[in-house]
Each structure stands twice: as structure tokens, then as C-alpha cells.
Structure 1
Amino acid sequence: MSQTNHLMHLYMQSRVMMSAVDPHTISGAVGRKDCHMLGLHWPELLIIVSLGVLLFGSKKLPELSRSIGKGIVEFKKSVSGASSDEKLPPPKE
């Protein structure tokens, strides 16, 4: 077995061992990005979105998403601002 084939075999073996799903579903996964967000698949994401629409309504959901996004941006700004304050030299007297 050539070194390339051996490495490919080890890679596929590790993918099968790490996978919690049927090994046949990852056989074509070489060279392809996994598009699962937080381990959720399309049916789970569809259920979550449907529940969001039912709970908050289709008009309120974009506003809620926008406010969550703004909150995340503000949080990131405050975290990066705190780290940039630490890098400044102390004031000279």
C-alpha cells in the first residue's frame, strides 16, 4: 500500500470512528466541507425556525434577530476595547 493510500485509509478510518452516524454517510466526505451548524442537520434547523416563527410571529422575528445581532456586535466591541486598553502604555507623569 502506498503512503498516500495508507494516509487516506487512516483518515477515513478516523472519520468513521469519530462519526456518530452511519459510516456510509461520510464515505464521500473527503474534500467536502461539513455544513452542519453545531451538529444540527436540516430537519432540526427547520424545526427550530418553525418554532421561532410560531412563538414570535413572522413580523417580530426579523426585529428580534436584528437586536440579537446588534447585541453581539456591541459585546464584541466591548471585549476588543478592553483588550486594546490593556495594550496602551501607562500615562507619563
Structure 2
Amino acid sequence: KKTFRKYKELLGPTWKDFTAVLLTHADKAEEAGFSEEAYLHNASSTLLSLLNSVKNKYVFLDNQKSIIKEERATILRKLLNFLRQNNYQVLLKHDKE
């Protein structure tokens, strides 16, 4: 809850609409015998709560591969889908000084 309050403080009350979670080390999960779905099924309640808060917008990234063209395309498709779900709105936070 403390982390969520910090996000809200930094990004404003609509932070959840403009946030996606980047999960790295998919290669380590795979080495341990977990698929993406199995890993998330066994994830901590904190991570699951965060993912639920951001409407399950996440990208699972394999750190061992240099982000090759195909993986970049997959990530870009997911990010564009997140934007589409958010009616193409983006969060623009301006400092008030």
C-alpha cells in the first residue's frame, strides 16, 4: 500500500491507467521450469495486486537475448495495445514550479 501511495503521489490519481509492469528475467523463470502463466500463478500477492491494479498490463522480458527484432516487435505490440485500451491517452506530468 505504501508503494501504491508513492505512485499516486508521483504520477497522480490516474497512474494505474498509464502504467505497465516490465517483468525481467523471463529466462530465469524458464530455467526454473516456469512458463509465463505458471510464474504469474505462483507470484507473490504484492505482485498480483500490482498487476491487478494496472489491469494486467505487463511485458515479460527475456534478459539473456539481446532484444532482437522479433522481441522488440512483441513489446511494441503490447505497449500499443495498452495505449489502445486507454483510448490513446498518455500521462503527461508537468512540474509546477
Return the structure number with greater helix share.
1
Return the structure number with greater strand share.
2
State the structure with bigger RCO (CA 8 A, min sep 6), 1 or 2. 2
Output the TM-score relative to the length of structure 2: 0.24
Structure number, greater radius of gyration: 1
